[in-house]
Structure 1
């Protein structure tokens, strides 16, 4: 029996050595925080070469009873701070009262912390403040990162035994659509195999999830047509000339290439994460064919900062400006107990990760999970051109699930919401 207990005891001992920090106040926020905020590193991988950083926020309602969520920001390589400040977290920047280099924070009235405990994880090594102790460990992939996240979860729950009974959901957006269902399967199978500790897994949540990059991109033209960004004539011509395949184009098919160049002209000045939000035009772009199929990176926030206040016109990524000022403030870093080894310049997203995308389609994992006793919520913003809702509907329909209710408008307190 001793040889079975030894690995678990070693597993636990590594957790105890890593102390967490409770944060009661943050620079820019007036007064104490209304809930418990904890930050910490958890080691993962061989010899714990990977050190994963997280923020944990307790529920404002009932931490003992409310669900526990793991939130993974997409891209890959985007900071957990994005989830906390711009998506579902407790805080928002107070744009009305902030000025210059002194960003102020305010409470988010719609934070998910009102009903849930949330772990915001810098899920990939090299993201925000997660780091590696060896150069080799900075090389990661879809499959290696999910193994590290599963190890993180087990260690985190052993260090927080009171949370073991909470209903547990794995959640995230954008590129996390690839890794979330795989982690859910890993946890589910681990529970079946009796891996300790048993996680009280109830389901998963995905927002505008990447599922199969090639199919997601291929549906952008159809989506652009549905949203009147592409004319009926151009859509029909492109569909015919390209034979419905916009990704694997025959280089000798001149008609298809010409159509796609016209599509590119229609879509290249649209901000893909939200088609109604103005783009920042401070970043030079090359003019290559099939531009519509490229990932649009975040605008160069450094260029925006360097512009004079008078010359700035509001654009989508202007909202991120204060996060660069705030997160790079040394007092803010010290308050979050960031280790010296990671005190490099903070970037919301790290696009230089040594990362291999080795899972091409996660729909097969959704199909596996749909046969288990789990719940799933998939939601899509209908103004997202990057991961269009029509692509999401396609793979959901491919699961051949039983339809319990027909399509209908979504209302909140009697008013249409979508």
Structure 2
């Protein structure tokens, strides 16, 4: 009778998905299609973030650290867009696998961040990847609602993975992650102040090519174009004169600061001049993403025919970013991931499904106050930007950080070069003890994709092992 009772309790425990060692067995991934053998566990599934009231549910993918995961920190990765899938981004940036050239299999990512941390990828906001809501208004996202939902997600994720409550926690991301990451970090710290039980052990944030002050970042593109010889100084000076309603000291935090008509005309004309007569907006956007390399012309039909999709330019396979759009639509992949439980009536897309919407005013928000709040709470911040990124150029981000340092009476350190594997990796700028900015040589808008070895080095030495940063 006693043995039967114990067996019944254990069976119920497993049926509820609690599993062993604090891991939910229901979310365990046995193996992804075409995946090489690995010695770490993977999990994926949904977290209902509102108790079922509106039917909001975020999809996640969790990967153990390669070695000694119980003693490694946890890093949350939030990609930008807004509206791009962080889970999909894992397969072209910091996750353990990269899609093979035929997009039907996976290869090991030699520079995955799970070499030094457990990794948690969250499809956020609602409408990104496989995250969804049964309430249509939830697809109209904004910074505040996204922060609130992500904080709720983390509370409930820790309930599902209780062993990680005590772990050091890092929050990282790229591009519009410049909004998501600091907002979530601040939200978790605010929750700490209100909670008597759960404490989020936030130890630092890492941002790649972050959007911090959108309209100034747009203006910085023209400074960038000048540095690569695409336009002349006279054109840049004309733009700055006509667009002087926006500057470092006059940035609107909550309201859209619309360009004056003359300014917008000048920006449009200059953008057009950067290209030949066969002006193609899609090609233009690709060159903003990476001013150094030829873009991939993504033809997923080729993949459906069993062909390979690849475009190597200056040592980088530019089609790596496109192939997850095919892999994630394979039925066997969705089954292995425990994804798409709502049976979406449309194709999985890495970025911006048709239902997705985002508050334009929030996209113009000034993120310096959010960074300032973190620094005031002694949270270290590491920022790195690729030096061939024309979308959010490093020259603009550096300008923002000088402004932030001035507001906080922080004396900037001198500019230095940093090295990795006996090569110059870029420039390093220190702002006090907590804020560090790096440029990355030949890094584009997504440094973890275009320069993965350097991105891993920076994350390891200046985020996870920050105390060793003086011994690079």
TM class by smaller structure: 0.7 to 0.9
Which residue of structure 2 aligns with residue 412 of structure 1?
Answer: 420
Question: Kindly tell me: are residues 411 and 145 of structure 1, through their superposed partners in 2, closer, same or farther at Cα, counting changes over 3 Å?
Answer: same
Deviation at 1:48, TM superposition (A): 5.3
In the TM superposition, what are the counterparts of 1:203-282 in structure 2 within 5 Å? Answer: 203-240=204-241, 242-243=243-244, 249-251=259-261, 253=262, 257=265, 260-266=268-274, 270=284, 271-279=287-295
In the TM superposition, what are the counterparts of 1:98-109 in structure 2 within 5 Å? Answer: 98=102, 103-109=104-110
Question: Kindly tell me: are residues 130 and 383 of structure 1, through their superposed partners in 2, closer, same or farther at Cα, counting changes over 3 Å?
Answer: same
- Please tell me whether residue 350 in structure 1 is matched to residue 352 in structure 2: yes
Deviation at 1:16, TM superposition (A): 6.9
Match for 2:386 among 361, 381, 388?
Answer: 381
Which residue of structure 1 aligns with residue 92 of structure 2?
Answer: 86
Number of residue-to-residue matches in the alignment: 379
Post-superposition Cα deviations, 1:242-262, rounded to whole Å, max 9, x if no partner, equal: 5586985543x49x8457513
- Say if 1:79 and 1:122, in contact at 8 Å, map to a contact too: yes
Question: Kindly tell me: are residues 24 and 34 of structure 1, through their superposed partners in 2, closer, same or farther at Cα, counting changes over 3 Å?
Answer: farther
Which residue of structure 2 aligns with residue 139 of structure 1?
Answer: 140
Which residue of structure 1 aligns with residue 78 of structure 2?
Answer: 72
In the TM superposition, what are the counterparts of 1:246-325 in structure 2 within 5 Å? Answer: 249-251=259-261, 253=262, 257=265, 260-266=268-274, 270=284, 271-279=287-295, 318-325=319-326
Distance 1:241 1:141 in 2: 30
Q: Secondary structure at 2:71's aligned position in 1?
A: coil
Which residue of structure 1 aligns with residue 331 of structure 2?
Answer: 330
Query: 119-128 vs 179-188, which deviates more?
Result: 179-188
Deviation at 1:59, TM superposition (A): 0.6
- Give the TM-score, by structure 1 length: 0.81
Question: Kindly tell me: are residues 404 and 34 of structure 1, through their superposed partners in 2, closer, same or farther at Cα, counting changes over 3 Å?
Answer: farther
Which residue of structure 2 aligns with residue 39 of structure 1?
Answer: 44
Q: Secondary structure at 1:119's aligned position in 2?
A: strand
Which residue of structure 2 aligns with residue 201 of structure 1?
Answer: 202
Deviation at 1:318, TM superposition (A): 3.1
Question: Kindly tell me: are residues 236 and 305 of structure 1, through their superposed partners in 2, closer, same or farther at Cα, counting changes over 3 Å?
Answer: farther
Distance 2:305 2:243 in 1: 42
Deviation at 1:144, TM superposition (A): 0.7
Deviation at 1:190, TM superposition (A): 1.4
Which residue of structure 2 aligns with residue 296 of structure 1?
Answer: none
Distance 2:110 2:230 in 1: 33
- Say if 1:52 and 1:121, in contact at 8 Å, map to a contact too: yes
Distance 1:362 1:218 in 2: 17
Deviation at 1:153, TM superposition (A): 0.3
- Please tell me whether residue 397 in structure 1 is matched to residue 398 in structure 2: no
Post-superposition Cα deviations, 1:370-389, rounded to whole Å, max 9, x if no partner, equal: 11121111111111111111
Distance 2:97 2:311 in 1: 25
Which residue of structure 2 aligns with residue 110 of structure 1?
Answer: 111
Question: Kindly tell me: are residues 19 and 94 of structure 1, through their superposed partners in 2, closer, same or farther at Cα, counting changes over 3 Å?
Answer: closer
Distance 2:181 2:140 in 1: 20
Q: Secondary structure at 1:206's aligned position in 2?
A: strand
Deviation at 1:397, TM superposition (A): 1.2
Query: 187-196 vs 149-158, which deviates more?
Result: 187-196
Which residue of structure 1 aligns with residue 59 of structure 2?
Answer: 53
- Say if 1:60 and 1:113, in contact at 8 Å, map to a contact too: yes
Distance 2:419 2:311 in 1: 33
Q: Secondary structure at 2:28's aligned position in 1?
A: strand
Q: Secondary structure at 2:417's aligned position in 1?
A: coil
Q: Secondary structure at 1:219's aligned position in 2?
A: helix
Q: Secondary structure at 1:340's aligned position in 2?
A: coil
Deviation at 1:340, TM superposition (A): 3.5
Question: Kindly tell me: are residues 358 and 159 of structure 1, through their superposed partners in 2, closer, same or farther at Cα, counting changes over 3 Å?
Answer: farther
Q: Secondary structure at 1:53's aligned position in 2?
A: strand
- Say if 1:237 and 1:259, in contact at 8 Å, map to a contact too: no
Deviation at 1:83, TM superposition (A): 2.9
Query: 74-83 vs 380-389, which deviates more?
Result: 74-83
Distance 1:29 1:310 in 2: 17
In the TM superposition, what are the counterparts of 1:113-132 in structure 2 within 5 Å? Answer: 113-132=114-133
- What is the aligned-residue RMSD (CA, Å)? 3.1
Distance 2:310 2:33 in 1: 26
Distance 2:360 2:305 in 1: 35
